[in-house]
Amino acid sequence: MARRRAQTTVVIVALSLTVSVSAQFGGFEIASVKPSNPNPAGPLAAAPMVAPALGRLTAMNVTLRRLVYEAYRLVPFQVVGGPAWQNVNKFDINAKTIDGSVTTDQILDLLKTLLADRFKLKVHTETREIPFYALVVARNDGTIGPKLKSSAAACPDLEVQQRQRNEALAKGGLTALQPKPGETNLCSIELVPSTSTPGTIALRARGQTMSMLSSSLTQLAGRLVVDKTGLTGRYDLDLIVDLQTLMRLSADLGGNVSPLPPGLSEAPALMTQLQEDLGLKLDSQRGPGEVLVIDSAELPMPD
């Protein structure tokens, strides 16, 4: 039991953040911070977007809280405290680095410095007892579900996929990530309209590992998900996501959330769908982990 707890602690700590608010390599040559347009033209123009790539940081319709998630490589439950406006007021940021060859991680480190400078952000970390989920195979015989299938796709690792995604965003915005009609993005994991259940949204993955699925489920479940399936290799999968889960995720990321229309059909809850479609389940556990505490922040002066 002690050994198992020690292993769990190591996993959580390994995924926790290391706070550093200074960069060891130059800085932003130009940085503009402005309130977002309150009346954008079209749904994509209103969608939050953060793209640290190609020597630039481009952020649109993002809250301070979303910027903190991005800068410190965290998910919502790992950030606590902060002013009331942190998930209400939205900003656009355009910043250019002195050195155009900097990496995504270096740009995000520079974002920490920008937040400290322009938003007067002050933070610290604490170790707390936190709940998390272990992603495991649900069936005793190890059989997986009908919508989880081995993939022959030769996809790059997660870091390369993330860099390619950020570069596409930096070049073409959110429309650059949209597949053409009738096409499927290979080596991807994304939320798309379900083809099997009209009127619903599905998490669709092609050529992805269980580790990548765990990262996506962390966002959807609002709690850290650790892969303990023992499944290796890459998989294709389709998982229907209920609207309540999507609304919570959108709110966490600073999106505009409207009440669901009355009489709308509802998909089964995430836990049920995960077990029925993929043959996996989330086992609730607890362990020590680090959280980022926002001590204070101020509204920035617009450029």
Q: Specify the DSSP element, H or E, that contains 295.
A: strand 280-296
Structure tokens belonging to residue 145 = 């579900």
How is residue 261 annotated by DSSP? P
Strands 224-227 and 122-137: parallel
Confirm whether 118 is domain-assigned: yes
The reported pLDDT for the residue numbered 24 is 39
Structure-token match 């991680």, residue found: 105
Under-50 pLDDT residues of the chain: 1-26, 264
154 and 283 housed in the same domain: yes
The reported pLDDT for the residue numbered 179 is 60
111 close to 123: Cβ distance less than 8 angstroms? no
CA distance 293 to 78: 8
83 and 107 housed in the same domain: yes
Q: Give the whole-number percent of the chain exceeding pLDDT 90.
A: 48
**Domain count of the chain?**
2
pLDDT 10s digits, 183-215: 666 777 888 877 777 667 888 899 999 999 999
pLDDT 10s digits, 9-23: 333 333 333 333 333
Confirm whether 63 is domain-assigned: yes
The reported pLDDT for the residue numbered 198 is 66
Q: Compute the 3-state secondary structure of the chain and give helix, strand, coil in percent, each to the nearest 5.
A: 30, 30, 35
152 and 83 housed in the same domain: no
161 and 122 housed in the same domain: no
State which amino acid sits at residue 175: T
149 and 242 housed in the same domain: yes
Range of the domain at 27: 2-128+289-296
136 and 213 housed in the same domain: yes
96 and 108 housed in the same domain: yes
CA distance 162 to 179: 17
**Residue 267: CB partners within 8 Å, gap ≥ 6?**
197, 200, 240, 241, 242, 243, 273
Confirm whether 179 is domain-assigned: no
112 and 191 housed in the same domain: no
Confirm whether 303 is domain-assigned: no
DSSP per residue over 128-182, as a string? EEEEEEEEEE-STT-PPPTTEEE----PPPHHHHHHHHHHHHHHH-GGGGSPPTT
